[in-house]
Amino acid sequence: MEGIDVVSEALADLHRRLLALDGGAVADYIPQLALADPDCFGLALVSLDGHRYRAGRCDEAFTLQSVTKPFVLALALAELGAEEVGRTVGAEPSGEAFNAISLDPVTGRPANPMINAGAIAVTALVPGGDPAERFARILDCLGRFAGRPLDVDEEVYRSEAETGDRNRALAHLMRGTGALRGDPAEAVETYFRQCAVRATVADLAVMAATLANGGVNPVTGEAVVPEPVAVAVLAVMATCGMYDAAGEWMLRVGLPAKSGVSGGLVAVSPARFGVAVHSPPLDSFGNPVRGVAALRELSERFGLHLMRNPAPGAPTVTRADTAEDGGTALVAAQGALDFTAAERVLFALGQQAPGPGGRVLLDLERVTAIDAAARAMLDRALTLLAERGHRVTVTGDALLRADAPGPLGRAGSRAGTRR
């Protein structure tokens, strides 16, 4: 049915109004970036079902610059694990500009993987026999986040390579403090190539949505990085992603995000969608003026701030009573069980009082999903009930049984009874 796409309508409305926003300046310290059209403005949103929405100029490729940083951090975390990456780089908002000499005075370790010093060290961590192989892995990974192969803007790469003395200096300093692996010159060349990877706003929104979706690209279905890696990267983006305006961003927008000097911006509404904006003029912190304004409005309008109470879900417990003779307690639940829902089920069970040795019936017929925390909670409660001599019957636990090791998992039949 046509004409009911209110998401696109909201994006189009934002685009129309914010295009008029002037202010900010296009970055020019990399000469090639200064050629960007200040009126270029596109925004795109991709849901976890892979539904795509867009407004403005979304098909023009631009170099991602710092917006590559969270995705390369994800690659390093997936390849090496959090402990090893953590030995090289911290996860603290440094409160400093993107190109600051931001190294811990004692350890020499860069604090923030979302600005240049930390990001150069992370890039150098990506495994590879030589710089070409390392970069090939980075490019491949960025492409899997985007759902299509990406390439490098050679002119922007050369332009930065010819002028990037400050980043070279940072790499040498880190080599001196022991924070950087390998040859500083090679590390920086790989990092420059990474920054010059180009993609469109439409691609970037898919990349953001992949992080929102626990590392699974919602368009291609590919698991690009494991879920704990996506969660870790979102946490780093939330605290460190917006240069030295990260605190204000969290206050006003409340979403994990990352911006870059070419005017790109990704923001992630975890378990909801990814959004991307491109508009080259930057504010004094280096964040794109229209991108910041767009995300402030989107967050407000759609109630996306992370610290908001999520909308109350449907009730979990649909029935809780004890038979008149006091011998049997029945609790029925519905929907997806997480910590909150499992707490409701267990509280309801606790309110019922079957006599000593009485039966407990737990009806999970209408439960649609259960996460690891809820599974562990239910398992533990069922074990305790059985230890206290109750006969416990769980119905409808086929879904839960699939790979569960605990009492729920051990239920041998659809209605598993244990004593």
Taking the complex as a whole, the smallest distance from the CB of residue 162 to ligand GLU amounts, in Å, to 13
Radius of gyration of the chain (CA): 25
66 binds ligand GLU, rule: CB under 6 A: yes
**251 burial via Cβ count (<10 Å: 0-12, 13-18, 19+):** exposed
Residue with tokens 């923001």: 267
Sorted by sequence, the CB contacts under 8 Å of residue 247 that are 6+ apart come out as 93
277 binds ligand GLU, rule: CB under 6 A: no
244 binds ligand GLU, rule: CB under 6 A: no
Active-site residue flag, 258: no
Among 195, 219, 265, 404, binds ligand GLU (CB under 6 A): 195
Taking the complex as a whole, the smallest distance from the CB of residue 98 to ligand GLU amounts, in Å, to 4
Q: Which residue's CB is nearer to ligand GLU, number 162 or number 227?
A: 162
112 binds ligand GLU, rule: CB under 6 A: no
CA pair distance 72, 142, nearest whole angstrom:
8
Q: Which residue's CB is nearer to ligand GLU, number 160 or number 397?
A: 160
- Residue 160 is assigned to a ligand binding site: yes
Taking the complex as a whole, the smallest distance from the CB of residue 21 to ligand GLU amounts, in Å, to 21
Tell me phi and psi for residue 334, to 5 degrees: -140, 165
260 binds ligand GLU, rule: CB under 6 A: yes
Taking the complex as a whole, the smallest distance from the CB of residue 118 to ligand GLU amounts, in Å, to 11
Contact 349, 382 (CB under 8 A): no
Helix axes 6-19, 289-302, angle to 10 degrees: 140
Sign of CA dihedral 169, 175, 179, 183: positive
Contact 45, 14 (CB under 8 A): no
160 binds ligand GLU, rule: CB under 6 A: yes
Catalytic residue among 66, 159, 262, 299: 66
Strand order of the β-sheet with 359-370 is 317-322, 328-337, 359-370, 391-395, 416-418
Please name the residue ranges forming H helices in 276-358.
289-302, 339-351
Q: Which residue's CB is nearer to ligand GLU, number 99 or number 217?
A: 99
Q: Which residue's CB is nearer to ligand GLU, number 184 or number 270?
A: 184
- Residue 243 is assigned to a ligand binding site: yes
For residue 273, give both structure tokens: 């969608």
- Residue 29 is assigned to a ligand binding site: no
Q: Which helix (H) or strand (E) holds 43?
A: strand 42-47
- Residue 116 is assigned to a ligand binding site: yes
The site string for ligand GLU over 78-107 (x = CB under 6 A, - otherwise) reads: --------------------xx--------
167 binds ligand GLU, rule: CB under 6 A: yes
- Residue 157 is assigned to a ligand binding site: no
Active-site residue flag, 159: no
Among 47, 88, 116, 322, binds ligand GLU (CB under 6 A): 116
Question: What residues numbered 325-384 form the site for ligand GLU, per CB under 6 A?
Answer: none
Helix (H, G, I), strand (E, B) or coil at 50: coil
Catalytic residue among 253, 261, 275, 367: 261
DSSP letter at 7? H
Strand partners, 393: 361, 417
Taking the complex as a whole, the smallest distance from the CB of residue 209 to ligand GLU amounts, in Å, to 21
Helix (H, G, I), strand (E, B) or coil at 138: helix
Taking the complex as a whole, the smallest distance from the CB of residue 195 to ligand GLU amounts, in Å, to 3
- Residue 191 is assigned to a ligand binding site: yes
Sign of CA dihedral 206, 124, 102, 30: negative
Active-site residue flag, 243: yes
Active-site residue list: 66, 69, 191, 243, 261
Residues that bind ligand GLU (CB under 6 A): 65-66, 98-99, 116, 160, 167, 195, 260-261
Residue ranges of the annotated binding site for substrate are 66, 116, 160, 167, 191, 243, 261
